[in-house]
Each structure stands twice: as C-alpha cells, then as structure tokens.
Chain A
Amino acid sequence: MLLIPCPYCGPRPEIEFVHGGEAHIARPPVPADVGLEDWTAFLYLRTNEKGVHAERWRHTHGCARFFNALRDTATDQILATYKAGEARPGAAAVQA
C-alpha cells in the first residue's frame, strides 16, 4: 500500500485516496471549437508512462481534495505531490 503525501494532510495510506488518472489534461475551455481528433485524444488518449508519471489523486477519505503526484510507475516511488492547478515540478525540484 502506497504512502501518499497529501499536500494538505501529509503522508496518509493509500486506502484513503482514489486515483484520478493522468494529470494536466485540461478540459478545453470551448469544447465546441475542438476538432474531432483532438477531442478523441482528450477523452481517451493517455501517455501510459513507464517511469515518472504525473497523475491525479483525491484524498477522498480525508480532506476530499484533488491534487497531483509525480509517481514512478516502475518503482511506485512518489517523487512529489502538489496542488491542483500548480505546474508540474521540474526535474531539479524532484531531485531535491
């Protein structure tokens, strides 16, 4: 079971969280203007990264907030967590 550092509550066990899929896939502000292929990509295409992956989590049984995490999908190590809306931390920040 993962130990997930919620940016609001600190490290908590995985059972308190719900995974929310890949992060940084913003809903287009005007979907009607989005072409069919781009919309299909928005709906269905994900990177399925082996390695560092930015993903959404929700601390459902805690603060109930969504946030993002950088997790290495090969090792399950969580390199960083950050609040929704914040930019993905760069490699330097992750190293530190």
Chain B
Amino acid sequence: MSAPFRTPAGGHVDRARPLRFTFDGKTYQGLEGDTLASALLANGVHLMGRSFKYHRPRGVVAAGSDEPNALVAVYRDAARYTPNLRATEVELYDGLMAESQNRWPSLAFDLGAVNGLLAPFLSAGFYYKTFMWPRKAWDRLYEPLIRRAAGLGKSPTAPDPDLYLQRYAHCEVLVVGAGPAGLAAALAAAETGVRVMLVDEQRALGGSLLSATDATVDGQLAKDWLAETVAALAAKPNVVLLPRTVAFGYFPHNMIGLVERLSDHLAAPSAGRPRERLWQVRARAVVLTAGAIERPLVFPDNDRPGVMLAGAARTYLNRYGVTPGRRVAIATGHDGAYRAALDLHRAGVEIAAIADVRPESGGPLVRAARAAGLPVRSGCLITGTKGVQRVTAARLSTIDGHGAFASDMVACDAVLMSGGFTPSVHLFSQSRGKLVWDDAISAYLPGEAAERTYIAGAGRGQFGLAEALDSGWAAGAAAAGQPIARRFAVEALEADAKGVVGALPHDRGRRRKAFVDWQNDVVTSDLKLAVREGFRSIEHIKRYTTTGMATDQGKTSNINALGVVSDLLDTPIPKIGLTTFRMPYTPISFGSMAGLARGDLFDPVRTTPTHDWAVAQGAVFEDVALWKRARYFPKAGEDMETAVRREGLAVRNACGVFDASTLGKIEVVGPDAAEFLNRMYVNPWSKLAVGRCRYGLLCREDGFVMDDGVVGRLAPDRFHVTTSTGGAPRVLAMMEDYIQTEWSDLQVWLTSTTEQWAVIALQGPNARTILSGLVQGVDLSPQALPHMGVVEGRICGVPMRLFRVSFTGELGFEINVPADFGRSVWEAVWAAGQAQGLTAYGTEAMHVLRAEKGFIVVGQDSDGTATPDDLGLGWAIGKTKPDFVGKRSLARPSMAAPTRKQLVGLLTADPSVVLEEGAQIVLTPNPAPPMRLIGHVTSSYFSATLGRSIAMAMVSGGRARMGETLYSPVPNPKGFDAAIPVQVTSPVFYDVEGARVNG
C-alpha cells in the first residue's frame, strides 16, 4: 500500500478494495470505507482549503459534520458539481473527483492570501467601515470587489439532472444519532413493539463506538456489541434504520426533517436512482442522542494545517487506519486528548509532548498516559505554532507566578488539541426547548423541553459510555411509553467532563491571530474590537463579527466565542446569552427541498376544455393564477401586436369567440340566498328578477374592492355567481367565512362550480346570428333575452346556461355548458361562425376591448386600496341597504377625501405613444426631485378600433381634472427629461352611450 500515513491494519476500511481519486487534478489512492478527508490524510495531505477572508492555508480539523475548514467541491460533470461539501463527510468512491475552493491560481499558491497583509482593514465590521468613503467608489469599485470575494465555492453551470424524492412518515419513536445512546434508545423502544426510526448522518451506525478500542459492553468488545446491536435492530420489522441521513430540522409538533443521501457515495449510480430523499417524519416522541462536538483550543496560529481536534485524530486512526503525522504534539484542557495520545502511541506515532493547561490532572486516562511513559506536561499551554502549509513545531509555555512566560519549541508534524466537548443541543434548541448552563462541565445542556423530546448521552452531558448507554435506554423506553430501566455493564477508561472554554493566554502580542471561528475567519481580536466598540449582547457581537454565522453554524466556535466575550466583559457565560440555533443542522441541497416540484411539476397547471384546440390553432398562452389562458392566436407571420389588433377589430366588426372558462363560478342556493348576497355585495339583490343578471361588486370589511363579477338569478333561491379568474378561491373562502362564523342563521349553501362549466364568450355584431342555429328551446330575441338576461336551455343538444353579457361592449353571449361538452360545443360554434367572420381572440385582445369600454380588472386597475367610488363604480352600491360588507368602512371620513386616487382615462398627445403600465403621473413636465407623484397608469394599450393609444390610471382627485394635461416621467440615463404629456379623460373611450351591447 502506497499511502504513507496508513497503518498496516485496523479500522473500518476495506484494505482489499483500493480506490483511485483525484484532488485538484492529482491522483491519489484511498480505500473503500474512507472519506475524502481520511484518504487525503493517509496520503499525507493536510492542506485542503483556503480560509474565507484571509485565504490562509487550512487543513482538516474535525472528522465529521463539524468540520469548518475542509470544504471542497465534488463533481462528476458540469451539472453534477457540488460545492462546499465537507471532505470529512464525502464518502470515497472509485474515480471521485474533488477540488479545493477559495484559492487562485492554486491551493498551494493563492494570490488571495494577500488579504492576510490587509488584515488590519478586514477586522470585525470592516464592511461597515472600510467601504464607506468615498461614496462614488461604491458602485464601481467596492461593490464589484466585495461581490467577487463573497461566497464560498462555485455553482454548477448546468441544471441539476438528478432525481430528488420526498416522503412523509410516522413513527412512535424517532431516534436522532446512532451512537451508543441512540442504539440503546432504539433497542429499548423497539422492544416495546412500537414503530422506531433511527437516523444517523454517517454511513455507518455506531458514532463513537466506531472509534472505540478496548472498551467493553456487557462483556463484549464495543465493536462486537455494535455489530450485534445493529444486526438485531435491522432484523426487527418495527425498526427503520436510516444511515447517511441528517436530521436537519426540528419543527413544531415533533415534525423532523431528514435528508437521506442515496447515491452520492456510489461510483456509478444507476440511471434513475434518486440522489436524495427528504423525509418529513411526524414522531410521537423524539429521542435526541446527537452526541457532543469537540471544542478546539483558541491560541495563536491555531489554524495551521496539521492542527486538528484530538478526537478527530483518534477517529482517523481507529476508524480509517490513518495517522495524522509521525510526531505529534498534544495540547489539551480535557482528559479526552489522552485517549488519542494512547491510541496513537500504540500505533507507533511519536508523542512529542502532551501540554495540559490544567495544573493538576489525575484521571485514569492521564494516569495511563503517564504509565505508558508519554511526556505529560501539566500546567503547560500552547502559545503558537510554526510552519507555512503544515505545522512544523508547537510553542509550549508555562507561566510563572508573576505572569512571565517560559516557552520552548517542540518539533512536530501535527498538533492535536482538545478543549473538551460541547453537547450538540442544536435540534433541541430548534424545538424551542430551554437550555441551561452547567458550570460543572462548562456547557449548555437541555433543560425544559417544548415537545415530547427525550435527550440522552453526550448530548446532555453524559459523556461516559456507561452513562450514554443507560440514559439512552431510559430515554428510548420512556419515549415508547414503557419506562423500564436497564444497566449496561461497561468497562472503559472515562474522561472527566470538565474542559476549558475561551481563549488561552499568550505572550505573542495583539497581531497574532488566534482563531475562534475557522470558517468565517473570526479571531479573538475581532471579538475584542466588538466589545471595545460597545457591543454587549452576544446576538449583536455575532452579527458584527460574523462569528458562528458560517455554514457550520459555529459548531466548533460558539462556546469559545462566548468564553472569550465572557472574559472580556467579566460576566459569566449564562449572563451573556446564547445565539439561536436554526435549521438546517448541516447544509442541505435545494434539490431535496424542491423534490419533484420542478419544471412542469413546479405548480399545478389548470387548462380549460378548449386548451388542446387552442394549442392546435397555434395560440400563445399566458399564466393567470394556475390557469393557462390563450393570450392571442397569431396567424402566420403575425407578432403579438398584429394579432391582437386583428382579433380586436374582428370582435368590433364581426364576431369573436373567447374561452372564459377560467372565471370563478359559485352556485349560491337556499331560501336566504338573496339576503346573503345583499349582505355580501354592495349591490341590492332582492328585486333582481329571475332570468336577470347584475354586475356585482364585492368589498372587504375595510371598504376596499375585493372582486367583481356578473351574478345571474336562475330561481328565487338560486344564483349563478361569477368571480375574477384569480379571485375565485378568495371569494369563496370569504363567503364561507361569513356564512359559517357570522350569519350561521342564514339558510344558504355555496358550491364552487368553476371547473363544472365551460364558458364560451361569443362577442360581436354577428353573435346572435351565429348562435341562433345552435340553440334549442331558447328565444334569442332582444325582447326575450335582453342585455343582462340569463336563460337555461340547450345548445347542440346539451344543457346550457346562456348569459347575455358583454365584457367587450359588443352584443355578447356567454354560453355555459358542462365542461365535458365544452370542446364539442366550442367547435360547433366555431364551425357555425366561419361564414360570419368568427375569430378566436385571446386575453390580450380581451384586455384591449374592455379597456376601450373603461371596464376595470380588479387587481390591475384596483390595488386593494380602492373603494367602489374611487373606481367610478359608486352607482353599484345599494343606497337603501342597511348593511353590507364594507358599508360601515365606506362611511369613514377618509373614504370621501377629495384627494383620493380615482379612475380616469389618459390620452397621450402623440397617439402612437403607449404609456407603460405602472408609470407614475406628475403635475409638471420636469419637477425637481422629490417629485410629487399624484397617480399611476393601471392599464395601457394600443386600440386598433380607435387607431390610437389609450390608458387608464388612478389619479389623485382625477375626476375633477378632466381635460387637464399631466405628465408621465420616463426615466432615462440622463434623468427624467422625457416626460410624456397626457390628457385626463373619461375612462370610457368607445361607444360612450353604450348602444352596441343592444346589437
């Protein structure tokens, strides 16, 4: 085996299965079972990345999801390029390609490292200060510079071709984290027969047991107990084991979000195999056994490649058979590092020194290290490292009674550090459980839970193996509702829980960088600066210095940052507070969140019965709410403008046919139907005769227009209500609200019939002629069916509700037939109309036609602050009605203010100029800023009928300005000097007397 730092035996790697991979183009060999980080370490590669701000060379620090430094991109092709993956979590496969990030031109030689020289300008809050002046430099210099420097990694350049799935699941007990506590919890819960899910972010279940050496459980070696336990759990039909699955979020009512990685670990995933699966699991109880995260020490130059966490080094050794170096120095404030020292010593690695910051330490692990002859230095701290791209020596110091430092350099090729362990309380905190500071172990621990949550093991400060197993079992049993205790017989050397928090003292001056947050390049002096500038709350300090705000969410840094601030403010940590933990625990992909909701499946698509016909005619569609509506029907060579002019003229001069099926339709039925409509709509309904229609206007309780539509009375107790296309669900919900919660005494029932009726609008002078040959049992004469009449009958032999209504100003009918007959009736109308110049028109021509008549579209001409009167629709209000929704609000004084915006028409001086919808209206052509804006354009089109542009606008006091000239400023690169003069007119531009509807 060629890898120089691979041990001859041991670990959970398969030595018979070597794998080749590349990192930054160079080929290396690893083993099946490696992570990218362990394989690189086996080859002696510690340098895996450059830091975010200073571009300092960085090595791997951790062995799991807490890794702050070794962020890499892994790729298969242009579309499968995933940046910002932790090399410690990337499972090696044959042919894996990875590259480092945040460096140019190469990892070893990065020009960005010049930032290190600029460090004095890049201190905490630098972006608030350095780039402030001169103001002019912002657009051209600072912003492009910052944007280029911002962010980590690169995005893939092609759309993600992979499949991401999502599923829901339910269980009684969900266990997060499959270390000893989690395994015991799952065992206990599973024995009661309830449904159990056990998830772990790693490829293998076991957590710390995967790195265990000589500990025993119930008389078995830990690794054997692990294998047996996993097999036992896997054999239970009520247990689901989910390795490679991160529990990223703890949502209310015990909903846990999981992302399961399904194929990123495979050399050649089979086609169609999903890449990830998002699980949304509702658990009756959740057991959190997420373990603890080792704390780095904060000392000068603690970020040199080769400096890593002691526990990580032990994991690399025991799980992957990899040593971090040949001669290591260990700096610690916690017993745990001795475990690494002992294991490495046994593997033949020279232990140069164990610098223990504690003056006295006498636990069993320390005694074992002394007994093994390891060079333990009590009361000794690390105050620096030497080396450029790899550590070459550690500076170890003692402090005498007068505060004087005595130091020596200890040659080494790796430094292992440990400040102790921080319980992983992320998910518990996300669940809104309360955290309590525990002085004995210097950590926040779970306190009162907000959900049915149980916590066990290191996640609640029970670090010992026996404690973890016992508390895990107890939690699992309690979560399953059968609290039966069990004791595990464990033999292991246990560490004292207490460690050190905050920065170590040193004599290296203020300029030496002691990193607190590796990923965001936050050093102790940044925290000092923040405190010196008056920041006190940790939430503010966090935002000002960005400590803990990187993609690792401060897994390794938060508690040390608190410790540093605590020392600076001379305030105990619990008084400083704690920043909020948020989901996701580790970054998750957009693909997993999107799932199948991409492309055609992004949103539901609603199509009308004539959709396929319109497609065959070459219609161009637009999205209106979820509907696909035909926007125009271009003939060969026509652009939209030409087609819309042709369609509009055809309606005015012959006849047009339009699919209005998307209109919302509600059947309002019951003895109190008319009374209900009286209360809902501004209009009066009691006197509306059967067979007649009325334009209905609906306000919210605040008096502003919410929707409109024609309502036809089919029987004394039955109304056919129409709404706008987008407003249908809102209107139905509002009506239901009043029926159910305010007027439950009314005998009235609502049914949505939007999708039951196909609506074919036939509009134009020839409409009656076309229709006459198609209907049965219906008298189409103006006397029998006048404008705003409705009749039931048959067309082409199928049932029909025929409305004589017009949204174009022309003689018009809206033929309602059951949706299943929509296509055939449409085609019959189409065939009958060919001799009459019948033309299909789309929503664009519809808009022009209705604007020529000054008909509003709610939501386009109104915006939620318009009253009926503002829109010129005050006539619709039933003046004698005692009450309707919105009536009281319309009586508020402000609703009658003369300065309210009112609907008017605008005509440009140049008839060919079409105003922009949304454009502002001002009083003078070139007012000096700030301009007084008195209105805005709501609808604007070129009217082929009138041969000129027309526009509708909401203008302050508009109806009193008839004939006035106003201006619409048009911004251009030089200013606003191209204002368009417009004349205020009535919004009705065509057939003002309304004669044409009578055809």
A36 with B253, Cβ < 8 A, contacts A31-B887, A43-B702, A66-B740 known: no
CA of A40 to CA of B744, assembled, Å: 24
A36 — which chain B residues lie within 8 A by C-beta? 892-893
| B282 CB-CB contact with A under 8 Å | yes
Number of interface residues of A (CB under 8 A): 29
Can you report 7 A-B residue pairs in the complex whose CB atoms are below 8 A from each other? A20-B737, A32-B882, A43-B702, A60-B733, A75-B450, A77-B253, A84-B740
Kindly report which residue of chain A lies nearest to residue B893, judged by CB atoms.
A36
| A76 CB-CB contact with B under 8 Å | yes
CA of A76 to CA of B450, assembled, Å: 9
| B701 CB-CB contact with A under 8 Å | yes
How far does the Cβ of A17 sit from chain B's closest Cβ, in whole Å? 12
A76 with B253, Cβ < 8 A, contacts A30-B883, A60-B733 known: yes
B888 — which chain A residues lie within 8 A by C-beta? 31-32, 34, 39
Kindly report which residue of chain A lies nearest to residue B883, judged by CB atoms.
A31
A30 — which chain B residues lie within 8 A by C-beta? 882-883
Closest 7 CB pairs of A and B: A31-B888, A76-B252, A3-B253, A66-B740, A84-B741, A75-B450, A27-B742
| B280 CB-CB contact with A under 8 Å | yes
| A1 CB-CB contact with B under 8 Å | yes
B255 near A76: Cβ-Cβ < 8 Å: no
Kindly report which residue of chain A lies nearest to residue B737, judged by CB atoms.
A66
Chain B 377-413: CB-based contact to A (< 8 A → 1; otherwise 0): 0000000000000000000000000000000000000
| A56 CB-CB contact with B under 8 Å | yes
| A64 CB-CB contact with B under 8 Å | yes
Chain A 37-71: CB-based contact to B (< 8 A → 1; otherwise 0): 00110010000000000001010100011100000
B887 near A2: Cβ-Cβ < 8 Å: no
Interface members, chain B 467-514 (any A CB < 8 Å): none
Chain B 744-763: CB-based contact to A (< 8 A → 1; otherwise 0): 10000000000000000000
| B131 CB-CB contact with A under 8 Å | no
| A26 CB-CB contact with B under 8 Å | yes
Interface members, chain B 873-921 (any A CB < 8 Å): 882-883, 887-889, 891-893
B882 — which chain A residues lie within 8 A by C-beta? 30, 32
| B736 CB-CB contact with A under 8 Å | yes
Chain B 668-689: CB-based contact to A (< 8 A → 1; otherwise 0): 0000000000000000000000
| B437 CB-CB contact with A under 8 Å | no
B742 — which chain A residues lie within 8 A by C-beta? 26-27
| A89 CB-CB contact with B under 8 Å | no
B701 — which chain A residues lie within 8 A by C-beta? 27, 43
Q: A18-B733, A58-B737, A66-B741 are in contact. List 14 more A-B contacts (CB 8 A).
A: A1-B251, A3-B255, A32-B882, A32-B891, A43-B702, A65-B740, A66-B736, A75-B432, A77-B252, A77-B450, A78-B253, A84-B740, A84-B744, A85-B744
CA of A9 to CA of B891, assembled, Å: 41
CA of A74 to CA of B255, assembled, Å: 17
How far does the Cβ of A53 sit from chain B's closest Cβ, in whole Å? 14
- Which residues of A come within 8 Å of B, CB atoms? 1-3, 13, 18, 20, 26-27, 30-32, 34, 36, 39-40, 43, 56, 58, 60, 64-66, 74-78, 84-85
Kindly report which residue of chain B lies nearest to residue A75, judged by CB atoms.
B450
CA of A65 to CA of B740, assembled, Å: 7
How far does the Cβ of B529 sit from chain A's closest Cβ, in whole Å? 35
A85 with B253, Cβ < 8 A, contacts A18-B733, A39-B888, A75-B432 known: no
CA of A89 to CA of B673, assembled, Å: 33
A2 near B252: Cβ-Cβ < 8 Å: yes
B741 near A85: Cβ-Cβ < 8 Å: yes
How far does the Cβ of B280 sit from chain A's closest Cβ, in whole Å? 7
Kindly report which residue of chain A lies nearest to residue B736, judged by CB atoms.
A64
How far does the Cβ of A20 sit from chain B's closest Cβ, in whole Å? 7
A31 — which chain B residues lie within 8 A by C-beta? 883, 887-888
How far does the Cβ of A26 sit from chain B's closest Cβ, in whole Å? 7
How far does the Cβ of B881 sit from chain A's closest Cβ, in whole Å? 11
CA of A30 to CA of B891, assembled, Å: 14
CA of A90 to CA of B733, assembled, Å: 29
CA of A89 to CA of B771, assembled, Å: 61
A74 — which chain B residues lie within 8 A by C-beta? 432
Interface members, chain B 72-106 (any A CB < 8 Å): none
Which of B742, B888, B893 is packed against the most chain A CB atoms within 10 Å? B888
CA of A68 to CA of B701, assembled, Å: 20
A39 near B741: Cβ-Cβ < 8 Å: no
B280 near A1: Cβ-Cβ < 8 Å: yes
Interface members, chain B 340-361 (any A CB < 8 Å): none
A32 — which chain B residues lie within 8 A by C-beta? 882-883, 887-888, 891
CA of A58 to CA of B251, assembled, Å: 21
A20 — which chain B residues lie within 8 A by C-beta? 737
A60 — which chain B residues lie within 8 A by C-beta? 733
CA of A84 to CA of B736, assembled, Å: 12
A43 near B883: Cβ-Cβ < 8 Å: no
B887 — which chain A residues lie within 8 A by C-beta? 31-32
Kindly report which residue of chain B lies nearest to residue A66, judged by CB atoms.
B740
How far does the Cβ of B700 sit from chain A's closest Cβ, in whole Å? 9
Kindly report which residue of chain B lies nearest to residue A76, judged by CB atoms.
B252
How far does the Cβ of A57 sit from chain B's closest Cβ, in whole Å? 12
CA of A76 to CA of B430, assembled, Å: 12
How far does the Cβ of A80 sit from chain B's closest Cβ, in whole Å? 15
B889 — which chain A residues lie within 8 A by C-beta? 39, 43
How far does the Cβ of B968 sit from chain A's closest Cβ, in whole Å? 34
Interface members, chain B 257-303 (any A CB < 8 Å): 280, 282
Interface members, chain B 220-253 (any A CB < 8 Å): 251-253
B893 — which chain A residues lie within 8 A by C-beta? 36
CA of A26 to CA of B740, assembled, Å: 12
CA of A36 to CA of B272, assembled, Å: 64
CA of A20 to CA of B736, assembled, Å: 12
Kindly report which residue of chain A lies nearest to residue B885, judged by CB atoms.
A27
Kindly report which residue of chain A lies nearest to residue B282, judged by CB atoms.
A3
Kindly report which residue of chain A lies nearest to residue B750, judged by CB atoms.
A64
How far does the Cβ of A22 sit from chain B's closest Cβ, in whole Å? 12
Kindly report which residue of chain B lies nearest to residue A34, judged by CB atoms.
B888
CA of A58 to CA of B741, assembled, Å: 11
Kindly report which residue of chain B lies nearest to residue A18, judged by CB atoms.
B733
A2 — which chain B residues lie within 8 A by C-beta? 252-253
Contact of A56 among B252, B255, B741, B744 (CB under 8 A): B741
Contact of A1 among B252, B737, B883 (CB under 8 A): B252
B450 — which chain A residues lie within 8 A by C-beta? 75, 77
CA of A20 to CA of B892, assembled, Å: 25
CA of A78 to CA of B282, assembled, Å: 16
A13 — which chain B residues lie within 8 A by C-beta? 282
CA of A91 to CA of B736, assembled, Å: 30
How far does the Cβ of B679 sit from chain A's closest Cβ, in whole Å? 10
